[in-house]
Amino acid sequence: MPTEYTITDVTEDAERGLWHVLYKAPSGDVRAHVFPKNTLAWRAAEYGIDPADIDTLLDVVLHEPFTPHPDDPVNGGEDPAAAAGLTSAAPFARGRVQAGDRVPTTLYTAESTEKAREAHLLRIEHAKANRARVVAPKGKKDPLDRIRGVVLDPAGIAELAARVEGHRRRLRGDDTPEQPSVTTYDPTAAERTRTMRGDRTGRESP
């Protein structure tokens, strides 16, 4: 069963451009997840998530610390994307991996934004089902509303997406001139998030 962490507060470090999300474990221990304020914009750009879907972006960012990564020598064997057969050609040689070998799909090994998103969201859901869930307090004002009030700029996100795609091409050694960036947002992300939350609510009800 995953450990449930309840969010207790959200504070802003305006000077350094950071969000501080505090959450409490069942043991009473309080932890802090600190991340740059532009992280939501970057995740929207990297994975083609609708920038208006702040709930999905927050869900991704808050659970990333609990996801297994295929390069991690400790928990890489748990990678659900690899287990599901989501692999890509390695863009370059590293260690025992040769360029072209099949490796688990990640942001920069993926052939496309859609493939990267599929693998990343699978890791997020695996973390929530098996490791940890970060939830809002019941019957109280949601501290995350402070972050939800931020409006992301689609034009700025398109620029970030072009930078991500350019880096992905460079890793592959693709010298093709860059085409204008078109970010394909996932229109089902919000609905999947609502459905999963509804399922969890049903399971948790007495």
At residue 78, the pLDDT reads: 87
Query: In the chain, which residues have pLDDT < 50?
Result: 178-183, 187-188, 190, 192-206
Q: 85-128 pLDDT, tens per residue?
A: 999 999 988 888 999 999 999 999 999 999 999 999 999 999 99
Residue 182, number of CB atoms within 10 A of its CB:
11
Mean residue pLDDT across the chain: 86
Predicted pLDDT at 174: 78
How many domains does the structure of the chain reveal?
1
Which pTM does this prediction carry?
0.82
**Going by C-beta distance under 8 Å and a sequence separation of 6 or more, which residues neighbour residue 161?**
45, 46, 48, 113, 181, 183
Please tell me the predicted confidence (pLDDT) of residue 154. 96
How many angstroms separate the CA atoms of 61 and 41, rounded? 11
Residue position matching structure tokens 């040689």? 93
Q: Give dist(CA 169, CA 87) in Å, integer.
A: 17
Which residue segment(s) compose the domain that 159 sits in? 3-204
Query: Exposed, middle or buried, 152 (CB in 10 Å: 0-12/13-18/19+)?
Result: middle
